[in-house]
Amino acid sequence: MATAATFDLNDDSVVVIVGTGSGGGVLANELAQKGVKVVALEAGGRYLPEDYINDEWDSFGQLAWTDPRTTSGDWRVAKDFSGLPAWIVKAVGGTSIHWAGASLRFQDHEWKALSNYGAVEGASLLDWPLDAAEMAPWYDKAEAKLGVTGTGDRPRLPGCNNYLVFEKGARALGYSEVHTGNMAINSVEYDDRMACQQTGFCFQGCKWGAKWSSAYTDIPRGEATGNLEVRDRAHAARILHDDTGRVTGVEYFDRDGNLQMQKARVVCVAGNSFESPRLLLNSASSMFPDGLANRSGQVGRNYMRHTTGSVYAIFEQPVRMWRGTTMAGIVRDEARHDPSRGFVGGYELETLSLGIPFMAAFLDPGAWGREFTTALDSYENMAGMWIVGEDMPQAENRVTLSDVEDSFGLKVANVNFSDHPNDIAMRNHAYAQGQAIYRAVGATRTLPTPPYPSTHNLGTNRMSERPEDGVVNRWGQSHDIANLFVSDGSQFTTGAAENPTLTIVALAIRQADRIASEMAAGNL
């Protein structure tokens, strides 16, 4: 850290990256490793494993993005958690501190959802301008960076109690692709990080550093090159441009609340699928009255959050699901595309556990009385899984600017979301299968639990072949502005059934390669 660079605000040779999570943090390091000068602006503070807290609410208070947002639409989150549409992180390292570590490649067919599913009424499906073959080498690099178990020669993690219940039920149902997952959690020491100690609290930041996070890997390594400066507690306000329409820098509020402007040769936006479109929309100007990169009108649209939900179940005997890896195993059999089930796309089932404090908040928000409390009384005998499936992009599921302003006077993001009928059919199928898994091992009660505030937030600056269909091209580069990139999950054309981080990382590594070569060629 002693070697971390500092760059002048007027240095217009730097790449400015907004956000330092699995997209921005990886991009920053990859560029720095190639000798590109980078200033990364991060709205949150800096926390490392020794700072993380094994306590759900205390950790939430430390890490979560709790700046105001507003919600609308028919999703239950808008009613139960109207100011908290997402459970994501505001810190150096972003949501890579909080993520569970599941690292799955897209299935081949998912890169071409429109072609493979056909048009779906009410959905704005599109094919990615990429495919599995093109992404394969980038996935290889991403898996090696994250140390993904079950890839390369890395063994899988051992199964905890919650997994063992899940596995036995899944096998009883005849599922065959059942294992402890492809996890960015070390099963053995790897890349100077130790092996998982089955501590639980994966969502609260891994105190051992066994789970990959950019906070304590890519960020410090990028800083060690002398090419990366991370400015924490720097809240991006607006991207500026010149009269040729090229972006020239980023205005931000520094840790003291003072407005600064960092000049830039290239700007990369990686603030998650709410903050990235919000920043582009808040950067509207006379030349770009609808916001930057938004000639298509697509900025903020097609917000996806995965079709989620949980199934908890109660057994006669203790499970103690909180002991060990939070996301400890997976059933992949339902991830296939098989419209005979009554929906397009597929879903994964992955174990999940919450502690008592969050179980009380999320099991059935707003519920009270004995139907609710008798479930918690059996907490020790509870097992749990999470559903993650492909949801349909819809033009009206979108991030727009709210009338509400944050403490800086910047308009906040409003998140409008309503389920598509395909999402509902998939969720109901998954609830039935999840409950059947647990009944097969003797569950006395099953609890189909509604979606939590979203952690997988995707698609609001989507990638498209044609400029009129999306915001960025196959490199994550704005269709409208050559030196403006999007580097997070908001560039997803469709969401696939898989947890998104591995794909975000693979795209960031690939984008760094592109930006560095284009800079070297004088095209940027």
Partner 1 sequence: MSLRKQGLTRRALLSRAVAAGTLAVAGSGFIAAPDAAWAVEVTAISEHEMATLLQMARDIYPHDRVGDRFYVIAVKGYDSEDQKSTVAEGVAALDAAAKEAGFDSYLAAGWEADRVAILRSIEDTAFFQTVRGGLVTGLYNQKEVWPIFGYEGESYSKGGYIDRGFDDIDWL
Helix (H, G, I), strand (E, B) or coil at 417: coil
User: Which is nearer to partner 1, 211 or 238 (by Cβ)?
Assistant: 211
CB atoms within 10 A of CB 521: 8
| 510: exposed, middle or buried (Cβ count in 10 Å: 0-12, 13-18, 19+) | buried
Q: Which is nearer to partner 1, 286 or 317 (CB)?
A: 317
57 is a site residue for partner 1 (CB under 8 A)? yes
Give a three-class secondary structure readout of 141-167: HHHHHHCCCCCCCCCCCCCCHHHHHHH
160 binds partner 1 (CB under 8 A): yes
Task: Work out which of 158, 421, 450, 467 binds partner 1, going by CB under 8 A.
Answer: 158
Rounded alpha-carbon distances, angstroms, from residue 520 to 34, 226, 326, 485: 11, 19, 43, 17
Q: Does 156 bind partner 1 (CB under 8 A)?
A: no
Pairing of strands 247-253, 259-263: antiparallel
Q: Is 322 in the site for partner 1 (CB under 8 A)?
A: yes
Contact between 197 and partner 1 per CB under 8 A: yes
> What pairing do the DSSP bridges indicate for beta strands 266-269 and 15-18?
parallel
User: Does 155 interact with partner 1 (rule: CB under 8 A)?
Assistant: no
* Least separation in angstroms between CB 304 and partner 1: 29
Stretches 2-10, 318-326, 413-421, 448-456: which one binds partner 1 (CB under 8 A)?
Answer: 318-326
If binding is defined by CB under 8 A, does position 323 make contact with partner 1?
A: yes
How many angstroms separate the CA atoms of 135 and 294, rounded?
A: 27
> At residue 212, what is the residue type?
W
Burial class (CB in 10 A: 0-12, 13-18, 19+), 366: exposed
Q: Sign of dihedral through CA atoms 360, 363, 365, 369?
A: negative
The order of strands in the sheet holding 347-351 is 178-179, 330-331, 347-351, 382-389, 307-314, 445-449
The contact mask relative to partner 1 for 349-388 (x = CB under 8 A, - = no) is: ------xxx-xxx----x-xxx-xx--xx-xx--------
Nearer to partner 1, 358 or 418 (CB): 358
Question: Which residue has tokens 């938004």?
Answer: 294
Among 46, 109, 168, 295, binds partner 1 (CB under 8 A): 168
Which residue, 109 or 207, is less far from partner 1 as judged by CB? 207
- Answer yes or no whether residue 327 interacts with partner 1 by CB under 8 A: no
Q: Answer for the pair 218, 32: CB distance below 8 angstroms, yes or no.
A: no
Instruction: Report the nearest approach of partner 1 to the CB of residue 143 (Å).
Output: 24
Binding flag, residue 185, partner 1 (CB under 8 A): no
The C-alpha angle with vertex 325 and arms to 357 and 317, in degrees rounded to 5, equals: 70
Nearer to partner 1, 80 or 390 (CB): 80
Kindly tell me which of 52 and 65 has the beta carbon lying closer to partner 1.
52
Residue 175 in the binding site for partner 1 (CB under 8 A): no
Residues in the chain: 524
Among 153, 243, 256, 316, binds partner 1 (CB under 8 A): 316
What binding mask, one character per residue, do residues 406-445 give for partner 1 by CB under 8 A, x or -?
-----------------------------------x----
Q: What is the residue type of 157?
A: L
Task: CB nearer to partner 1: give 121 or 368.
Answer: 368
Question: Which letter does DSSP use for residue 472 in this model?
Answer: B
Q: Applying CB under 8 A, does 159 fall inside the site for partner 1?
A: yes
Restricted to residues 75-114, the positions that interact with partner 1 (CB under 8 A) are none
Among 11, 33, 51, 55, binds partner 1 (CB under 8 A): 55
Report the interface residues with partner 1, using CB under 8 A: 54-55, 57, 158-161, 164-165, 168, 196-201, 207-208, 315-320, 322-324, 355-357, 359-361, 366, 368-370, 372-373, 376-377, 379-380, 441
